[in-house]
Structures are given as C-alpha cells and as structure tokens.
Amino acid sequence: MLTVLIVDDAPENLSILNDLLRPYYRVRVANSGIRALRVANSEPKPDLIMLDVMMPGMDGYEVITKLKDDPNTTDIPVIFVTALESSADEERGLMLGAVDYITKPLRPAIVIQRVKTHLELKAARDWLKDRNAVLEAEVERRMEENLLIQDVSIRALAHLAEIRDLETGNHLRRTQGYVQVLAMHLKSHPRFSNFLTPRNIQLLLKSAPLHDIGKVGIPDHILLKPGKLTPEEHEIMKTHSQMGYFALEQAEKDAERPIDFLAIAKDIALCHHEKWDGSGYPAGLAGDAIPIPARLMALADVFDAIIFQRAYKPPLPFEQALAFIKEKRGSHFDPDVVDAFLACLDEFQSIAKQNAEVSDNLKAVYSDSPDVDDLKPLDQIS
C-alpha cells in the first residue's frame, strides 16, 4: 500500500484528510515541520506528502526547502494544502518544488483525484529511474566487456610478433611497464604535459604492446639470425616499422568508427626507431617531429634489448645499458626522456627483475662486472 504523509498543526485538518485518504492509502501524520522531517526519513517512507503552509515554528515553505535539499527525500512529491489563496503564494510553493497546490476548504473528490494523479506520476518516474539504472548498468557491462575483448585482441596481435622469438616472451610486459614509468614521470613536464593526459597515458599503455607487430613480416632467417646482420639483412629488418604501421592503418580503416588507441599505436610502430638527431628510420625524423609515444618507446625498447638476450647478442649488465643510454642522450634519445629514465632507475630495474625470462638474464642485469665489453651488437637493436 502506498503511503501518504499529512502535515498540519491543526488536529481537525489532520482528522479530515486522514478519514478521506485512509480507505485508499497508508496514512502517516505529523503536527509540525520538525516532526514531518523525521517521519519523511523513517520507514515506511512516504510516497507523497500533503503539507500545510501556515504552521508555527517551521512553516511549510521551510519544510519543503529542507525536504528538497535532502537526497533521501528530494524525490518525494509535495502537495501544498493551505488556506492561502493568492497567486503569489501558489507561485512561491510551486517554485520551491511542490507538484500541486490545493486550497481550503477541501473538496474531497478533488483531493482524492489529485493525490491519485501525483502518485501515478511518481510511480512512472520511479519506473523510468529504475529502468535507466538497469540500462546504464548494461551499457557499462558491455563497455567493460568490449574493452576486455579489445585488450585481449591487442595482446594476441602483439604476441604474433613475439611467438617467433621465444627469447623475448616478456618483452611486451616490460616495455609497457617502462613506458608507463616514463609517462608518469613526464606528465607534468612543460614539453610533455599537453599530450600526457590521463586519457592519453591510458591509450599509450594500451598501444605499447603493438610496437613490433610488423616483425610478423620479417623472414625467420633474418629475425632469428644469431650474430650481426649483413647490411642487406639489416635493411629488411628495418622494414618492420613500416609493415606494422600499414597493418594498423588497415585495421583502422576497417573499423566502423575511429579507435583512439590505434592512432598512438601507429605512431609507436612507425617511429620508435627514429632518433633525436635524425639518423633513425624509416623517415629520418628529428627532435620534436618524432611523436612523443615513439620517443618513450625508443628508450624503453633499447633498454630492454640491451639487458635481455636476443638472437644476435647475449644479455648485457645493467651498467652497460645505463652507460649506453647516457652516451646517446641528445643523439639517439630525447634528452628529457633520458633524464626521466635516470630519475627512475630503480623502477626500471624492478620491472626488469619482476618480468625476467630466465635466471641467466637476471644475473646479467645485476652483475657487478660486465662479462661483455663490446657494444657493437647494439648498433642493430631492432
């Protein structure tokens, strides 16, 4: 049964409305504004309130103001029942949030019909509110499901490149972690803050595992060759950046709508071998012409390639990676990205340690004395 709260300081008025409404509704009564606020917040909560205006202490206008300010009672419809007949009084009540305004003396048929109408309207509003909540929950569930499918698809695509090179199975996870560390450190830097927004950092991390997707197009005898590549082989290896870009661009064209992370993924795939001084590939971009995501990945990729085993080189100690990156500050790498790396060395080492492939790699990463002093293989890091 629906509940109606009647608020009036006059006992005879409470009695009249109670007798009129009780055959149809559960009726609760309050003889003051303060009492009305307590009853409105107790169970069973009223579905509608019939409120007198002229009451001692707290009048009806103050009561409705407090009801509308309270999230627990703001949705309860209020009908003013009063002897005040001026249009100004009625306008004031409606502006404060009342749904109707009934003047005394009361006409029973009118009162019953108005109460019935506003309870039906409230029921319809409540149904729509509940329905909208269900729909919003369903939309949120489907969005989460779509994002999960998207993330799984991205990682599956990225693993296509890595599955052919078993020595770099955790390379994706590590480089993604390094890029996150760099992005979080640089997000307030004047040169990076406009791009490294929370949204773009999220997209950057989603995109990072696709940086070497183009390697699926490199022949095994080059991709898995032990030792240094010939100049001709190295030129073929370098095409992986363009192949990755074109594959992602085609995926973007095939999509029914724009997908934000693919734009960043294309920048990373195409440009993560560009160098700050313009000596990189495929386009020889220099300085700020290199997209920020690619500049972060360039350092992350090289760092990881140095300290972990590749087909063309053994794992080298962390100290050699550190020396190499310092040496290439301002030539291979954006100077500010190198500075961020130097400020976050402990985090880089922690990521490498937590996601290492085998114990031999860890020994190399944390060795006190390098067991390999020739950095020539690093010239062919891909």
Where do the H-state alpha helices sit in the chain? 11-21, 33-40, 60-69, 87-95, 108-162, 171-186, 198-207, 220-223, 231-238, 240-254, 260-271, 292-307, 318-327, 335-343, 345-354, 359-365
Q: Of 112, 131, 150, which residue sits at a domain end?
A: 131
**Are 34 and 176 in a shared domain?**
no
User: Under 8 Å CB-to-CB from 8, ≥6 apart: which residues?
Assistant: 14, 17, 29, 31, 52, 55, 81
**pLDDT > 90? residue 188:** yes
Tell me whether residue 142 is in a domain. no
| Angle (nearest 5°) at CA 53 between 7 and 55 | 70
Residue-wise pLDDT for 247-260, tens only, equals: 888 888 877 777 78
Phi, psi (rounded to 5 degrees) for 341:
-60, -45
Q: Are residues 94 and 199 in the same domain?
A: no
Could you tell me if residue 136 is inside a domain?
no
Task: Categorize the per-residue pLDDT at 361 as very low, low, confident or very high, splitting at 50, 70 and 90.
Answer: very low
Residue of 261 and 358 predicted with greater confidence: 261
Whether 157 maps to a domain, the answer reads no
Least confident span in 68-72, 185-189, 309-313, 360-364: 360-364
> Within 13 Å and on the Cβ side, how many CA atoms surround 128?
6
The pLDDT score that the predictor gives to residue 90 is 86
More confident residue, 142 or 308: 308
d(CA 190, CA 7): 61
Nearest to 236 by CA among 281, 276, 271: 281
Any domain includes 217:
yes
- What CA–CA distance (Å, rounded) separates 116 from 112? 6
Report pTM. 0.61
Q: What is the pLDDT of residue 139?
A: 83
Q: Does residue 5 have a pLDDT over 80?
A: yes
Do 174 and 313 reside in the same domain of the chain? yes
> How sure is the predictor about 165, in pLDDT bands with cuts at 50, 70 and 90?
low
Over the stretch 37-92, which tens digit does the pLDDT of each residue have?
999 999 999 999 999 999 998 999 999 999 999 999 999 999 999 888 788 888 99
For residue 374, the model assigns a pLDDT of: 40
| Per-chain mean pLDDT for the chain | 87
Q: Point out the domain boundary residue: 73, 107, 131.
A: 131
Find out whether 33 and 59 touch, Cβ atoms under 8 Å: yes
Residues 6+ apart with CB under 8 A from 234: 380
pLDDT surpassing 80 at residue 155: no
User: Domains in the chain: how many in total?
Assistant: 2
Average confidence (pLDDT) over 291-311: 93
Q: Is 358 a residue whose pLDDT tops 60?
A: no
Residues 14 and 102: beta-carbon distance below 8 Å: no
Query: Which range among 127-141, 249-263, 326-340, 354-368 has the greatest average pLDDT?
Result: 326-340
The answer to whether residues 359 and 219 belong to one domain is yes
* Residue 261 pLDDT: 83
CATH code, domain carrying 322: 1.10.3210.10
In a domain? residue 84:
yes
Same domain, 169 and 102: no
Higher pLDDT, 358 or 2: 2
Judged against a pLDDT cut of 90, whether residue 118 lies above it is answered with: yes
Q: Examine the domain organization and report whether 356 and 238 are in the same domain.
A: yes
End-to-end Cα spacing for the chain: 74
176 and 292 fall within a common domain: yes
Higher-confidence residue of 273 and 165: namely 273
- Domain residues for the domain of 354 are 163-380
pLDDT band at 313 (very low <50, low <70, confident <90, very high): confident
Structural domain contains residue 151: no
| One domain for residues 92 and 205 | no
Asked if the model's pLDDT at residue 339 lies above 90, the reply is: yes
DSSP symbols for 205-242: HHHGGGTTGGGGGS-HHHHT-SSPPPHHHHHHHHTHHH
148 located within any domain? no
Predicted local distance difference test score (pLDDT) of residue 61:
94
Checking if the pLDDT of 222 tops 80, the result is yes
**Which token pair is 322?**
């550190």
């010939």: which residue's tokens?
230
Structural domain contains residue 139: no
The domain spanning residue 80 has which CATH number?
A: 3.40.50.2300
**100-111: average pLDDT:** 90
